[in-house]
Chains A and B, each alone.
Chain A
Amino acid sequence: MSHAFLDGYKPLYFSTTEWAFIRAACARLIPSEGEGPGALEARVPVFIDTQMAGDFGKASDWYMLGPHEPGANPLLGFQSPLTPAQIYRQSIALVDEWCTEQKGKAFAELGPDLQDEVLRDLQARKMPLKAELRDFFVLLLQNTKEGYFADPIYGGNYRMAAWKYIGFPGARGAYLEWANDKGAPYPLGPVSISGDRG
């Protein structure tokens, strides 16, 4: 499948190798094969890159002054002294290093089955990532879903493809006339924040 747009895209935050990792990982989390658009068709990597370059990546509005207990029970919430952008950067480097050692190639070069294996290991915390980077997979999966379903104004969900796929009618303020029609599909395509009509 050709992804000319992603090929031509100049990442705001990620380096060339990091960008290759993100594209490959997103493509496994929401694959292009099968029903509906994949993460690449929906331009999810652009969403993640934009987020990393922006307030979310910089944790601008998070409490980041410590005390930090990165090893604390995850139920106590985010405890890392690192920002999401730093977590992505450091984790991608470590995962690629690990893949090269264990499987002979960087993550992006591996075949889909091996990539799935690596992602599963990451999710199951089988990979030796230090506590500060513990949330990497959680962030990656969460941001991929967000990029898939968020309004296209944030860079992903290109042409509202994900919304059209699930029949979500978009950022149209009210559906009063449909409130009692349980289960009837809404006939009209979605609308985005910037007013695009699908």
Chain B
Amino acid sequence: MRALVRIIGGLIVLVIVILLGLMLMPMHRTAAVTNLPAGYEPPAGAGERVAIAADCAACHTAPGGKPFAGGRVVETPIGRIYASNITPDRKTGIGNYTLDDFRAALYDGLRRDGVHLYPAMPYPSYRKMTEEDVRALYGYFMNELAPVEASVPETRLAFPFNQRWGIRLWDWASLPPAGFRPYMRSAKLDRGAYLVEALAHCGSCHTPRNGLTFAEKGYESRSADFLTGGVIGAWPAPDLRARDSAAQRWSDEQLAALLASGRNETAGVSGEMALAVEHSLQHLPKSDMEAIVSYLKAIKQDRPIADASAPRSTPAPTAQQLASASPQLGLGARLYLDNCNACHFATGKGAKNVFPNLDGNAVVTAKQPGGLISLILNGDAIPSTSERPERLVMPGFGWRLNDDEVAALATFVRQSWSNAAPAVTTADVAKLRGAVNTTPW
């Protein structure tokens, strides 16, 4: 008995010592992965190009706010996290950051004062940045941007997530090695890998996360899980590698068109992907876009799609049913005719380059139905891009359809033509109905 008490007491002391160690031990900062010669100067314009490819503005610019002055809320599974002001303001921004401080933020997720950043800041991807790009980015933020004095609200998460030292455990368990080591067959593919895996952090949305720590299951194409489909908010970020995924089925030109202009013959970007295209991908040099497309095609996996239902072997006769306009049609079909048929048509195929195809659309057939539900409730828009200046809007229908109706309609769309995804429930819809306008005006 005494022995047991002693053992337990000992264990408790040990745990406390370990915790104290965890909390107080100085952070490890990763050193530069390349020793650049003294007096190294990044090429002109390189910093801005990296900032665009890495889409720093996506999170660090608040809606309607000054560029990079922070304040945007990043919604995460553990709560709302405010992105920092990263203009070179000394008081409220990162004006006091040295190059090493800056690299530590990008590589190790460490703030200048040593506090751990939440991985809502995608440092697990940025960690692969080359030293050249870190330098270019640092020069851009310090010398090319004007300081903006703007305080950002403090992030306050619930216990235990407010114990930032705990992120250290997460970092140990999750972070890939720093820097990018070329590993593909050609320089072009390696450029694509670098863009996708490091700068554009496609994996932060498109890679599944493990259930325990929410860390991405892989950070590069040598991991079989990388880019096989993730979830961002309530949206599916589709599988990009399966042989029957859209990314692999489309021709190189069609894939490039979607990424660079926001749409192609059969699809348009929506949700967070629309923001990535609008703020970042459309601005990439053509050679970079070609590298991304070649890379994505090169990492194809010979397996069925992972995050969405397989199509029916024989398509349902939906188009004929809808065309009959019969009063016998079920509620879902009736709602489709009343609300969606005008643009997406009885075939579900929409109109080339304008209205996306719903038949076999990964957002429609995804295991995660939230993207489809959000589209129906709130609508969305393909952004205006330099190649395709016209912004194409899908109106929201939340104001005219109740939760039962949205569920019936979403279920219909998920089970029509060749789609064969599980039904959507009223509760699924209720969860996503936020502050939606109740009138169209």
A contact set with B: CB distance below 8 Å: 172-174, 176-178, 186-189, 191, 193-195, 197
Measured in the bound complex, the distance between the Cα atoms of B346 and A197 in whole Å is: 19
Given contacts A194-B400, A195-B400, contact A172 B327 (CB under 8 A): no
Q: Which residues of B contact A193 (CB under 8 A)?
A: 400, 440
Given contacts A172-B337, A195-B401, contact A186 B343 (CB under 8 A): no
Which residues B372-430 have CB closer than 8 A to chain A?
397, 400-401, 405
Which residues B332-374 have CB closer than 8 A to chain A?
334, 337-339, 341-343, 345-346
Write the nearest CB–CB distance from A65 to chain B, whole angstroms.
28
Interface status of B323 (Cβ within 8 A of chain A):
yes
Q: Which residues of A contact B324 (CB under 8 A)?
A: 187
30 sampled A-B residue pairs with Cβ under 8 A = A172-B337, A172-B341, A173-B342, A173-B343, A174-B341, A174-B342, A174-B343, A174-B345, A176-B345, A176-B346, A177-B322, A177-B323, A177-B346, A178-B325, A186-B325, A187-B325, A187-B326, A188-B325, A188-B329, A188-B334, A188-B337, A189-B327, A193-B400, A193-B440, A194-B400, A195-B338, A195-B397, A195-B400, A195-B401, A197-B334
* A191: contacting residue among B322, B338, B343, B397, CB under 8 A: B338
Measured in the bound complex, the distance between the Cα atoms of B341 and A189 in whole Å is: 15
Closest 9 CB pairs of A and B: A173-B342, A195-B400, A177-B323, A174-B342, A191-B338, A188-B325, A187-B325, A172-B338, A194-B400
B contact set with A: CB distance below 8 Å: 322-327, 329, 334, 337-339, 341-343, 345-346, 397, 400-401, 405, 440
Measured in the bound complex, the distance between the Cα atoms of B327 and A187 in whole Å is: 7
A189 — nearest CB in chain B belongs to which residue?
Answer: B327
Are A172 and B342 touching (Cβ within 8 A)? Answer: yes
Q: Which residues of A contact B326 (CB under 8 A)?
A: 187-188
Write the nearest CB–CB distance from B324 to chain A, whole angstroms.
7
Q: Which residues of A contact B400 (CB under 8 A)?
A: 193-195
Write the nearest CB–CB distance from B224 to chain A, whole angstroms.
44
A170 — nearest CB in chain B belongs to which residue?
Answer: B338
Q: Which residues of B contact A197 (CB under 8 A)?
A: 334, 338
Measured in the bound complex, the distance between the Cα atoms of B342 and A174 in whole Å is: 5
Measured in the bound complex, the distance between the Cα atoms of B341 and A194 in whole Å is: 16
Q: A172-B338, A186-B325, A197-B338 are in contact. List 15 more A-B contacts (CB 8 A).
A: A172-B342, A174-B343, A174-B345, A176-B345, A177-B322, A177-B346, A187-B325, A187-B327, A188-B325, A188-B337, A193-B440, A194-B400, A195-B338, A195-B401, A195-B405
Q: Which residues of A contact B338 (CB under 8 A)?
A: 172, 191, 195, 197
Q: Which residues of A contact B323 (CB under 8 A)?
A: 177
Are B327 and A188 touching (Cβ within 8 A)? Answer: yes
Write the nearest CB–CB distance from A66 to chain B, whole angstroms.
31
Write the nearest CB–CB distance from B351 to chain A, whole angstroms.
11
Measured in the bound complex, the distance between the Cα atoms of B323 and A188 in whole Å is: 11
A176 — nearest CB in chain B belongs to which residue?
Answer: B345
Measured in the bound complex, the distance between the Cα atoms of B439 and A194 in whole Å is: 8
Q: Which residues of B contact A191 (CB under 8 A)?
A: 338
